[in-house]
Amino acid sequence: MKSLCSFILLCLSAACSPSEKTTLSHSGNYQALATDADSAAAANISYVANQKNYLPMMLGTWLLHTMQRQAVLPEETLYISLHLNEDQTCVVSTSCGEMKGRYTVKGMSIKFQNLSYNQHDCSDKEQLDQMARLLTKKVSLYAYNGNMLFLKDNSGNNVFRATR
């Protein structure tokens, strides 16, 4: 009976102790102390990657040379000015006037929003509408390389190509 009580006491103390594991080296010395990760703490781990911030180098005026509506279609030639301002506003100067809006850059993603323009004074209204649609709905990534800026879709296809 005494040994049964000792066995139960030993089992209870082992069950109540923290779940720490030790490993022994081949010499018998303690080598490492490992603890089981708390699942709630492990779920709260977040990973942060440091991405290069190209925004300061992208500010200013760009000349949009090409627009590609779909990856399977040929590029259309443009000679339109895109100005990225420090206050995250943008101005696209077209033959029909100015298209104004906002943009945000985070890492390698770029998003254009709230583009507005006067549609009534334009002879090439269809191309201007498509350009506004592509900027707000399709462009989501960018690639910057010195004096070249590529505005891309989610798949990495070039939508607009611009130079300084």
Residue 164 has pLDDT above 80, yes or no: yes
* Predicted local confidence at residue 99, as pLDDT: 93
Q: What is the sign of the dihedral through the CA atoms of 153, 155, 160 and 164?
A: positive
Sorted by where each begins, the domain ranges of the chain are: 55-163
pLDDT tens readout for residues 104-116: 999 999 999 999 9
CA-CA distance, 22 to 29, in Å (whole number)? 10
Cβ(54)–Cβ(40) below 8 Å: no
Mean pLDDT across the chain, nearest whole number?
81
Local structure of 96: helix, strand or coil: coil
CA-CA distance, 95 to 82, in Å (whole number)? 13
- End-to-end CA gap in the chain: 90
Give the predicted TM-score (pTM) of the model: 0.68
Could you tell me which CATH class the domain 55-163 is placed in? mainly beta
